Chain A
Amino acid sequence: MADINVRIEEFDVVIVGAGGAGLAAAVQTGMAGLKTAVISEVYPTRSHTVSAQGGINAALANMDEDYWIWHMYDTVKGGDYIGDQDAMEFFTKNAPKTIIELEHWGMPFSRTETGNVYQRAFGGQTRNFGESVAHRACAVADRSGHAILHTLFERTLRSDIVQYVSYYSEYYALKLLMNEEGHAMGVVAWDMVNGGLHIFFSYAVIFATGGNTRNFRTNTNAHVNTGIGWTLCAKAGIPIKDPEFIQFHPTGIYGVGNLITEGVRGEGGYLLNAQGERFMKKYAPHVLDLASRDVVSRGMASEIREGRGVGPKKDHILLKLDHLGHDFIMDKLPGIWELAYKFVGVDCTKDPIPVQPTAHYHMGGIPTNINGEVVKWEGDEEVAIPGLYAAGECACASVHGANRLGCNSLLDLVITGKQAGFNAAKWIKEEKPVFPNPPEEFVAEKYAKDVMDKLNELFDGPEGSVTMDEIWEDLRDTMQANMSVFRIEEGMKKQLEIIDGYFEKFKNVGLTDKSKVFNTELVEYFDLESLLYVSKLETAAALNRTESRGAHYRDDYPERDDANWMKHTAAYLKEDGSVELEYKPVRTKPLTAPTFQPKKRVY
């Protein structure tokens, strides 16, 4: 038996993930004076929020007249009407004061001539319910994600918060603990640096584990974005809401996938096909390249499919921005210049950047209400699970519906993170729940036996006859082929069989590295396992939704079908590894605004 050290610690709140959402939550629990542990696979400033570029939406009206209700309308329409409108109202209404708060905390926003926060145009953002393009994205050059992540992290370093927030960096969460009544009671995690298990007991657990598109060939995600939050919750019996809605960002760098911000188009850049044609005028006659991302990605993919793609393989599109001028690009888009130059050798002040639609973001996730509480359904009724919260990309309050608008994700992570942290603190203080005090001696045996068994098997077992690379490489190709911008029944059915095959193969994967110190092979093992579950949930839900809505487009069902499909997917992972699908009502009633009724989406 491998000698696995177990340590037990007690906190008021455990936050899994230290990206923007986790840190926004930590600010709240820290300010409330609650002892908080933040567990993260990487040091907080290395989380993938850091890669966001364009900005964060709010109707601040610094550039032109703007109101939250216009922002809300755009968000509802962008989400193809399946978003929960109470959450969307809360989200857009609270956006301006969220930006002000970030500014007060030191976020180094770009500025206007008057010294106000600079705002740029972005896809799908309009004034007066679709009339003209809005300038709503508050930007820090093209490094808004870096700025927001550092600002939130730095906030937790202040003396009034730092004494309550403990960072467990380079800890990998392996299990969500729930008690017999179905309350969250803690997390089991692997200490990557020293080896060994930590069992964290707490009143409340907040998941903020971010995205998971590392299962696609070209994606904008970091190596750490493997969906462990989805997997741990799904294994604990919590359904994943709307996993079929996966956003493909129009402009990932061709071949490598690194993100080129939509801000390039917001500032006046545009897309060209092989014939040098501004093809977006065919797909979005009013706003062209600033249509919502699903529309632009489909436009690009259609051009490529019809033979008008660029390059010897006719498989990509060009993004032109040199006409913006050298000085403007270096002032407002310096990070883009660097990425294009480094990754494809293009000096974008002179030449266009080769781009392609690239897996980017999950609109769906761990189901929550507007308080950040994770919910389960009793019939059609949403019931909060005591002590369990989720925020940011891994969660789904459905503020993005079936397609997220650019710059709504940074807003999502600050607002839902804050909500989760604030409401967890409020619940602990007001409801005074009983602390999950387990019997000392048997804790590891009782709560982490399955995890221990797995680790022992991996450390003591054979190196395995299948390499992870074999499965992972193939997974990326097949998901890209069958689950990307255009989907069809035959392909998705095949993909489900292929995924089951991967699970069979995965049983024969072992570890070559038996060291307990910083074993990144072990981490990749759990990453890959998680991505297999994520892929299965996505594919099963996509196959069953026989309509096209937002980012989910089916060649065999090209129209939106409100009569039959105006409902959320709840995808359950069963113990035998199968996926069971239920459907739940959309919360169409906003808090105070009138409901925006479904209309045909035209951009």
Chain B
Amino acid sequence: MALNVGDKVVFKIFRYDPEKDKAPYYKDYEVTITRTGMMVLDGLNQIKWEQDPTLTYRRSCREGVCGSDGMNINGVNTVSCMSHIEDYNSNVLTIKPLAGFPIIKDLVCDFEDFLNKYYVVKPYLIEKTPPPGRERLQSIEDRKKLDGLYECILCGCCSSSCPSYWADPDYLGPSAMLNAARYVFDTRDEGSDERLDAVNSVHGVWRCHTILNCISACPKELNPTKAIAELQKEILKRKY
């Protein structure tokens, strides 16, 4: 559905202010298309700056790398700054906070549990032997193994889209495990055993039921399901 400058689109937005609302509700706003290629974030900014300054959401880089504005738009998780309004082919956009995360206010949710799970996988290079006086060498092929893993922006879109993540409060979730894989498959890392131990449990890699929601939710087009499968293979290869 092509949108022209001047067209109107309704944003139906989840609202909740814990200081005054007993329960969440939806409020409709009319967004005017002011240029071609308008993103959902531009629409939210238009509402906040011109209609209702109380509307609350996170945003920073507005180019899909800081991961602040993960949210659910017409049923799909993504970052609002990289989502064209017209791509939804609809006159109405229903915008909700990330499912499965506690809500702080409106579209802002609490990332504490999500981030604690990220810390569990030890997302940093572990070295056991001192590095050389120059850079460690790594072949182009070995470096390629990190493509599709290191680009994660911690926006939460994948974990929030995962029914296993909703059902099991202890499940580490796709994001944390993608970050585990980022180091497990780094040829420079010497801490893979402890990292694999951290994900080798019913709340880790074995909780993934290949529902594949995380793949379509990732705004960076990464593939957490594949990363989890690779971790499973690696565990089997090393342990048994």
Pairing of A with B:
yes
A residues with CB within 8 A of B: 42-43, 45-48, 50-51, 60, 99-100, 103-106, 108-117, 140, 143, 145-147, 150, 154-155, 157-158, 193, 222-224, 255, 258-259, 335, 338-339, 342-345, 467-469, 472, 511-513, 515-521
Closest 8 pairs (CB-CB, A-B)? A106-B125, A115-B137, A154-B124, A513-B54, A469-B49, A46-B66, A103-B135, A104-B131
Closest to A140 in B: B150
Check: B151 CB closer than 8 A to any chain A CB.
yes
| Min C-beta distance of B43 to chain A, whole Å | 15
Closest to B147 in A: A141
A46-B61, A48-B61, A158-B124 are known contacts. Are A108 and B150 too (CB-CB below 8 A)? yes
- Contact of B37 with A111 in the complex, beta carbons under 8 Å: no
| Min C-beta distance of B177 to chain A, whole Å | 16
CB neighbours of A143 from chain B (8 A): 65, 151
Closest to B41 in A: A223
The segment out of B5-13, B16-24, B222-230 that lies at the interface is B16-24
Closest to A472 in B: B49
CB neighbours of A145 from chain B (8 A): 65
A106-B186, A515-B19 are known contacts. Are A42 and B60 too (CB-CB below 8 A)? yes
- Contact of A222 with B60 in the complex, beta carbons under 8 Å: yes
Q: In the assembly, what is the distance between CA of A105 and CA of B136, in Å? A: 11
The secondary-structure label for the interface of chain B is loop
The segment out of B103-111, B159-167, B199-207 that lies at the interface is B103-111
A515-B54, A517-B17, A517-B19 are known contacts. Are A224 and B60 too (CB-CB below 8 A)? yes
CB neighbours of A106 from chain B (8 A): 124-125, 183, 186, 188-189
Q: In the assembly, what is the distance between CA of A158 and CA of B127, in Å? A: 11
| Min C-beta distance of B48 to chain A, whole Å | 8
CB neighbours of B108 from chain A (8 A): 518
Q: List 12 A-B residue pairs with CB atoms under 8 Å apart, sorted by A's residue number.
A: A43-B154, A50-B61, A104-B125, A106-B124, A115-B139, A154-B125, A157-B119, A224-B60, A259-B63, A517-B104, A518-B104, A521-B53
| Min C-beta distance of B174 to chain A, whole Å | 17
A50-B65, A108-B146, A343-B37 are known contacts. Are A223 and B139 too (CB-CB below 8 A)? no
Summed over the interface, the residue pairs from A and B with CB atoms below 8 Å come to a total of: 153
B residues with CB within 8 A of A: 17-20, 35, 37, 48-50, 52-54, 56-68, 82, 84, 104-106, 108, 111, 115, 119, 122-125, 127, 131, 133-140, 143, 146, 150-151, 153-154, 183, 186, 188-189
Q: In the assembly, what is the distance between CA of A345 and CA of B18, in Å? A: 40
- Contact of A46 with B19 in the complex, beta carbons under 8 Å: no
A108-B150, A143-B151, A193-B104 are known contacts. Are A46 and B67 too (CB-CB below 8 A)? yes
A469-B50, A517-B18 are known contacts. Are A46 and B150 too (CB-CB below 8 A)? no
A115-B138, A342-B82, A469-B50 are known contacts. Are A155 and B151 too (CB-CB below 8 A)? no
| Min C-beta distance of B233 to chain A, whole Å | 22
CB neighbours of A47 from chain B (8 A): 60, 66
Closest to A342 in B: B82
- Contact of B19 with A222 in the complex, beta carbons under 8 Å: no
A513-B53, A513-B54, A515-B17 are known contacts. Are A113 and B63 too (CB-CB below 8 A)? no
CB neighbours of B58 from chain A (8 A): 42, 46
CB neighbours of B19 from chain A (8 A): 515-517
CB neighbours of B188 from chain A (8 A): 106
- Contact of A222 with B105 in the complex, beta carbons under 8 Å: no
Among the listed B53, B68, B138, which residue makes an inter-chain contact with A111, where contact means beta carbons less than 8 Å apart? B138
Q: In the assembly, what is the distance between CA of A413 and CA of B82, in Å? A: 28
Closest to B220 in A: A338
Among the listed B48, B52, B61, B115, which residue makes an inter-chain contact with A222, where contact means beta carbons less than 8 Å apart? B61
CB neighbours of B18 from chain A (8 A): 517
- Contact of A146 with B60 in the complex, beta carbons under 8 Å: no
Among the listed B48, B68, B137, which residue makes an inter-chain contact with A46, where contact means beta carbons less than 8 Å apart? B68
- Contact of A111 with B59 in the complex, beta carbons under 8 Å: no
| A60, A145, A521: most-surrounded residue (chain B CB, <10 A) | A521
